[in-house]
Amino acid sequence: MTKTFKTTLAVLAAALFASTTGIAVAQVHSLRGVQPDAVDKAPSDLQYQGKKPGQQQTIDRTFKDQPPLIPHALNNFDEITLEENQCMSCHSPEKYKEKNAIKLGDSHMSLVDIPGGGMKKVMNMSRWQCNTCHVPQVDAKPLVDNSFKGDITAKQ
Ligand code: HEC
Ligand code: HEC
């Protein structure tokens, strides 16, 4: 007997056993409902919460080392390309004072050699895509239930 054939027989035997003994076979519930190939209805567009930067409080963090949530709107300044990063126009170490913003986290900086001697701190490029970790807020119904309760003092 080939290996595949043996496996098929084993699966059939298990199914027969389950059906004759009345053992329920686990059902998979898709988030899309019973017809996974049905075309999704696009959710309506929701506006990000928050006004222009400089007008809101920061949002409390809910666990240690959480990337802080973005409290302000992002319309018109969320462009992050190879050449440009609009977030840096307010959050960079050079600009944050002038823009009255918060300096990006220390963990985002790396020490590099200066040609000719010495070291300086520059942003680590692994942090360039800010919105991989920092997300704006929207008042949306959660897709699935979530019982997470934040505790910033909890050890991980
Ligand atoms: C025009 C200046 C400006 C721009 C552009 C800007 N921010 Fe901000 N950001 C602020 C200010 C000011 C605050 C303080 C809260 C407030 O007043 O909205 C802030 C707060 C934040 C915070 C909260 C920090 C904390 O400690 O809680 C995060 C995270 C953040 N911004 C990320 C971003 C990201 C990511 C972008 C780009 C997509 C961006 N910001 C673009 C000015 C700016
Ligand atoms: C890989 C995930 C990641 C990326 C990418 C990232 N951050 Fe962060 N950020 C964090 C975490 C985690 C913290 C909290 C720890 C810290 O302060 O370093 C943080 C903290 C911050 C803070 C608050 C600093 C403070 O002292 O309160 C600001 C502002 C910020 N980031 C802005 C940015 C901006 C702007 C970018 C893009 C240029 C960016 N971050 C990219 C994870 C990230």
Mean pLDDT of 9-17: 53
Distance CA 73, CA 47 (A): 9
The answer to whether position 108 is within a domain reads: yes
30 domain-assigned = no
- What local confidence, expressed as pLDDT, does residue 7 receive? 54
- pLDDT tens for each residue of 65-116: 899 999 999 888 878 999 999 999 999 999 999 999 999 999 999 999 999 9
Inside any domain, residue 6: no
CA-nearest residue, atom 6 of ligand 1? 87
Q: What is the pLDDT of residue 4?
A: 55
Give the chain's domain count. Answer: 1
State how beta strands 109-113 and 119-123 pair: antiparallel
The pLDDT tens digits of the residues spanning 136-156 come to 999 888 888 989 888 888 765
**Quick one: average pLDDT of 6-20?**
53
Which of the listed residues 86, 89, 104, 135 should we mutate to test ligand 2's pocket, taking the one with most ligand atoms within 8 A of CB?
A: 104
**Placement of tokens 């000719």 in the chain:** 116
**Residue 115's domain spans which residues?**
88-132
Distance 20 CA to ligand 1 centre (A): 62
14 lies in some domain: no
The answer to whether position 50 is within a domain reads no
CB 124 within 8 A of CB 108: yes
Residue pair 68/91 in contact (Cβ under 8 Å)? The answer is: no
* Distance set, CA 3 to CA 12, 15, 39, 102 (Å): 14, 18, 39, 62
Query: Model confidence over 51-68: pLDDT tens digits?
Result: 999 999 999 999 988 999
